[in-house]
Chain A
Amino acid sequence: MFEIKNISYEVSGGSRKKVLDSISLKIKGGSLIVITGTNGSGKSTLAQIIMGIKRPSEGQILLDKTDITNKTITERANFGLAFSFQQPVKLKGIKVYDLISIARGELVSEKEASKYLKQVGLNPDEYLLREINDKLSGGELKRIEIASVLARDAKIMIFDEPEAGIDLWSFENLTKVFKKLKAENRTLIIISHQDRILKIADEIIVLNDGKIKSHGTPAKILPKITGGKL
């Protein structure tokens, strides 16, 4: 069980602004949660707070009843959390193979590293030894980012807008990967606007202006979204 209790996040600058306002959630192990909402509603901030990239102004995060609110990113990673960034970073001089090995915590075989690249639609022969630099397109970087998260084999995987920059074929493939991970009892928290991802969710959480506006199954939430009521 993963629990978020009364999480708030404020930024200062001119006037103080609450980006997140007392968010509380309980996420069952093995479920697929999609967090959606308009731009600026606080989705990515919430995801980053869960991973420890941002620290909340108030509130607690509990993983299997252990308070991880003050844990570092590394500690959370070692507790079994993984995070896919919305904007993947470039790492000059680090090859895709190196990144996969870092994610696995050991030097992996080419065969094993290739497995993760194939899952995101990248040809290992072409990409395994490529440097993660600005010669790669945004879509390629995004897929490498997701591959590194898949390689973590984590209990809880957070994906911040995984669809951004990904072509349709790879996206279809990615939704299959998400379903497979769910079948393996992984917990997935996905930030997304994408209809196909919303449809495979167990629960959808709609954020608006830093607050939970609605929360429920796709059957309950999707008609409201398509009807323009959310």
Chain B
Amino acid sequence: MNLSEEEKQIFCEVIADNDVSRESGAWQGEDERASPVATGASDAARETSFRLSAPKGAYNFRVNGKSVGRKSTANIDIKTKQKKSGLDIYIKPGTKNETVHIPVAISATGLKEAVYNDFYIGDNSKVTIIAGCGIYNCGDQDSVHDGIHRFYVGKNAKIKYIEKHYGFGRGGGGKILNPTTEVYLEKDSEATLELEQIKGVDSTIRKTTAELEDNAKLMVKERLFTHGRQSAESLYEINLNGKDSTADLASRSIARDLSKQTFKATIIGNNKCRGHSECDAIIMDDAAVHAIPALNAKTKDAELIHEAAIGKLASDQINKLMTLGLTKKEAESRIINGFLN
């Protein structure tokens, strides 16, 4: 793949730091780079050389609206959609422990795209899907990526979906990412979603919906970090339709500077089911966080719980780490990193 340094950097950011891509040799950074939150590393310092090699398993790398590298495997078939932009990804029944990487990079200022990726996951499969999008914008026009991912998870299949979003570049144009994730879980299936916004995304509206059949299970782990004047909305609607279906949604976020976040999670219990949502946010500086957890039980057998906590970085936590020899800044970084990990 012939990629610019910025495009390589995006791919390293959005598909790195997860066990699967490490194991599969999906990327190799020049150095063992710590999280931007931990180091406060500048963009310039991070714009060193990035080496990227093709991951194992199926993949499609998309840059500025075009596929720049694709591989299907015996069990995973990636096809271009005919009527709109995006992919149809077919995973054969019984496929075990395989991965699909579908990262997206935008480095052209002013590019606006909506991409529809549909995943058809066969019965009894077990796969990991690594997506994620990064925008490098050094111009004055907004760059926008709307990624609409639909997962049709077959009976007794299990998926792990990892999505990271990242933006950088000093141009005045916005870096805007609006992901929509729809999950349809058939009987006895399971989905684990790890959704993370690392840094640098000016505006995002994240919509996640799920429909669960009997004994299906959904786990969502969301991590959001906003800074500057960024805004983020994270909206969930989870329908527990099947008997003994379960959902566990855990969102942790940090809002710094003048950034704003809204978290709205609605769990609807339409059957005997269990649902839990938890929103935990830390506010720093002059940021604002609005959490709206909602439960809608349509039968007495629906057991639904929500928890929401918003607070500042506690001084006693900082003091504790300072008594162990960290400076105030180091203590704050450590607490933030721990919280988001």
Interface flags for A69-81 (1: CB within 8 Å of B; 0: not) read 0001110011001
Residues A103 and B324 in contact in the complex (CB < 8 Å), given A73-B319, A89-B317? yes
* Bound-complex Cα distance A196 to B5 (A): 65
Asked whether, in the complex, the Cβ of B280 is within 8 Å of the Cβ of A92, the reply is yes
Asked whether, in the complex, the Cβ of B338 is within 8 Å of the Cβ of A91, the reply is yes
Asked whether, in the complex, the Cβ of A89 is within 8 Å of the Cβ of B280, the reply is no
B338 proximity list for chain A (CB < 8 A): 91-94, 98
Which of A72, A92, A93, A102 touches B324 (beta carbons < 8 Å)?
A: A102
A78 proximity list for chain B (CB < 8 A): 325
Asked whether, in the complex, the Cβ of B321 is within 8 Å of the Cβ of A102, the reply is yes
Instruction: Check if A85 is an interface residue, CB within 8 A of chain B.
Output: yes
Residues A91 and B335 in contact in the complex (CB < 8 Å), given A73-B319, A85-B316? yes
Which of B224-232, B259-267, B326-334 participates in binding chain A?
B326-334
- List B residues 303-341 near A (Cβ within 8 Å): 314, 316-317, 319-328, 334-335, 337-341
A94 proximity list for chain B (CB < 8 A): 334-335, 338
- List A residues 84-106 near B (Cβ within 8 Å): 85, 87-94, 98-99, 102-103, 105
Least CB separation from A85: chain B residue? B320
Asked whether, in the complex, the Cβ of A74 is within 8 Å of the Cβ of B327, the reply is yes
18 new A-B contacts, CB < 8 A, other than A77-B325, A152-B325, are A53-B319, A53-B323, A72-B322, A74-B326, A78-B325, A82-B323, A82-B324, A85-B316, A85-B323, A88-B320, A89-B316, A89-B320, A90-B317, A91-B320, A92-B252, A94-B334, A103-B325, A148-B324
Residues of B bordering A, CB below 8 Å: 252, 280, 314, 316-317, 319-328, 334-335, 337-341
Asked whether, in the complex, the Cβ of A74 is within 8 Å of the Cβ of B335, the reply is no
Instruction: Check if A178 is an interface residue, CB within 8 A of chain B.
Output: no
B314 proximity list for chain A (CB < 8 A): 89
Least CB separation from B337: chain A residue? A93
B322 proximity list for chain A (CB < 8 A): 72-74, 77
A22 to chain B: closest CB distance in Å?
26
Interface residues on A, range: 20 to 34
Residues A102 and B323 in contact in the complex (CB < 8 Å), given A89-B316, A93-B339, A93-B340? no
- List A residues 134-190 near B (Cβ within 8 Å): 148, 152
* Bound-complex Cα distance A73 to B323 (A): 6
B340 to chain A: closest CB distance in Å?
7
User: Which 7 pairs across A and B sit closest by C-beta, in order of nearness?
Assistant: A93-B338, A94-B338, A73-B322, A83-B323, A77-B325, A103-B324, A93-B339
B282 to chain A: closest CB distance in Å?
9
A99 proximity list for chain B (CB < 8 A): 324
Least CB separation from B325: chain A residue? A77
Asked whether, in the complex, the Cβ of A92 is within 8 Å of the Cβ of B339, the reply is yes
Instruction: Check if A34 is an interface residue, CB within 8 A of chain B.
Output: no
Which of A85, A93, A102 touches B326 (beta carbons < 8 Å)?
A: A102
* Bound-complex Cα distance A151 to B233 (A): 42
* Bound-complex Cα distance A72 to B317 (A): 15
* Bound-complex Cα distance A99 to B324 (A): 9
A87 proximity list for chain B (CB < 8 A): 316
